[in-house]
Amino acid sequence: MILSIESSCDDSSIAVTRIADYKLLFHKKISQELEHSEYGGVVPELASRLHAEALPKILEEAKEFLPHIKAIAVTNEPGLSVTLMEGIMMAKALHIALQKPLIGVNHLVGHVYSLFIEKEAVLPKMVLLVSGGHTMILDVRGYKDLKVLATTLDDSFGESFDKVAKMMGLGYPGGPIIERLAQKGDPNRFDFPIPLRHSSKLAFSFSGLKNAVRLALEELDNLSEEDMADIAASFQKAAITHLLQKTSKACELYKPKDFAIVGGASANMALRKAFEKECAKRRISISFAPLEFCSDNAAMIGRAAVEAYKMRDFIDMEELRAVPRSCFV
């Protein structure tokens, strides 16, 4: 079994995965969303203190598995350095106590493997990763064989939802709040610009769209419930259209047979529906991570770590460090 730890942002999570058949034997996550909500975003120092409290509590519940652990996996990149450190320190302590090897897992690779929890990996795939920290199109061929085909020039997809929610004073995380509001709104009331629609660049950008929302909000005097719903719906439509336009371009260039969407923001139903339609039109198969594994969790880190374990991709304790920004091209 592999014990995996995730603490790259605001979720403390530990999982135990059986190596032979990927079975998830234990999985628990304590989310800090409520604690960060009043600040409209994650406060790193608060997050790291909460991890320091939550991780030992979860580990206590996984105690019965410790004698069977063959390796300890931990997210070491990318993420907030102070929160990554909490997971890394626990992994190192377990490494010393259990005398088992360490595996450092890239959080983005973890999101990709959220597609294969308790399953065999089916690759190659073109993967759209939409989270709070990243918006990328990846060409995934294997655990150590990933290429970034497109990334964002500024904000990420999930982050733009968080910022729009913050502008309207609606709390954090903004994604689910905006999605819920959008269901009641008119997506055609505000004609927000689709980012980079006239550019041939295979890249994403959300800061211009976010500013367009800010201007629209400033022009409205007394923001009614209806105004907020219409802003949310019009913004969500523009953001999803942008993802669709650039992903379609990537499909024309790279001609994938299989496509998938992962990351916290892949829980968005409007996004899922829009891509299902587009993929059906293009005769490309589409898959998503199960809803419970879209946002950050240790199960996806454990699933990715099984691949690392099979390749004997271990890391020395001295070399295991938090890498806030990383690239695996």
- Binding region for ligand KG4 (CB under 6 A): 9, 131-133, 158-159, 161-162, 173-176, 179, 263-265, 267-268, 295-296
Residues of this chain, 240-299, that bind Zn ion according to CB under 5 A: 296
- Could you tell me the smallest distance in angstroms from the CB atom of residue 131 to Zn ion? 4
Distance between CA atoms of residues 61 and 82, nearest Å: 24
Distance between CA atoms of residues 35 and 82, nearest Å: 17
- Could you tell me the smallest distance in angstroms from the CB atom of residue 81 to ligand KG4? 15
Paired residues of 285 in beta bridges: 258
Binding partner at 44 among Zn ion, ligand KG4, none, C-beta below 5 to 8 Å by kind = none
Binding partner at 175 among ligand KG4, Zn ion, none, C-beta below 5 to 8 Å by kind = ligand KG4
Instruction: Kindly report the three-state secondary structure assignment for every residue of 83-143.
Output: HHHHHHHHHHHHHHHHCCCEEEEEHHHHHHHHHHCCCCCCCCEEEEEECCCCEEEEEEEEC
CB count within 10 Å of CB 318 equals 7
- Could you tell me the smallest distance in angstroms from the CB atom of residue 192 to Zn ion? 26
**Interaction pattern, residues 19-58, with Zn ion; x per rule: CB under 5 A:** ----------------------------------------
How many residues line the site for Zn ion (CB under 5 A)? 2
71 vs 168, beta carbon nearer ligand KG4: 168
Binding partner at 173 among ligand KG4, Zn ion, none, C-beta below 5 to 8 Å by kind = ligand KG4
Distance between CA atoms of residues 85 and 91, nearest Å: 10
165 vs 294, beta carbon nearer Zn ion: 294
Nearest to residue 75, comparing CAs of 36, 136, 133, 23? 133
83 vs 131, beta carbon nearer ligand KG4: 131
Q: Give the distance from CA 64 to its chain's centroid.
A: 30
Considering only CA atoms, give the Rg of the chain. 20
- Could you tell me the smallest distance in angstroms from the CB atom of residue 271 to ligand KG4? 7
216 vs 239, beta carbon nearer Zn ion: 239
**Interaction pattern, residues 107-136, with Zn ion; x per rule: CB under 5 A:** ------------------------x-----
296 vs 307, beta carbon nearer Zn ion: 296
76 vs 234, beta carbon nearer Zn ion: 76
Local structure of 247: helix, strand or coil:
helix
- Could you tell me the smallest distance in angstroms from the CB atom of residue 21 to Zn ion? 25
Spell out where the chain has E strands.
Answer: 2-6, 11-17, 24-31, 71-77, 102-106, 125-130, 135-142, 145-150, 258-262, 285-288
CB count within 10 Å of CB 261 equals 25
**Interaction pattern, residues 296-325, with Zn ion; x per rule: CB under 5 A:** x-----------------------------
- Could you tell me the smallest distance in angstroms from the CB atom of residue 266 to ligand KG4? 8
- Could you tell me the smallest distance in angstroms from the CB atom of residue 264 to Zn ion? 6
Paired residues of 148 in beta bridges: 138
Q: Give the distance from CA 144 to its chain's centroid.
A: 19
86 vs 159, beta carbon nearer ligand KG4: 159
Task: List C-alpha distances in Å: 325 to 46, 78, 108, 136.
Answer: 20, 5, 11, 14
94 vs 138, beta carbon nearer ligand KG4: 138
DSSP 184: T
- Could you tell me the smallest distance in angstroms from the CB atom of residue 263 to ligand KG4? 5
- Footprint on this chain of Zn ion (rule: CB under 5 A): 131, 296
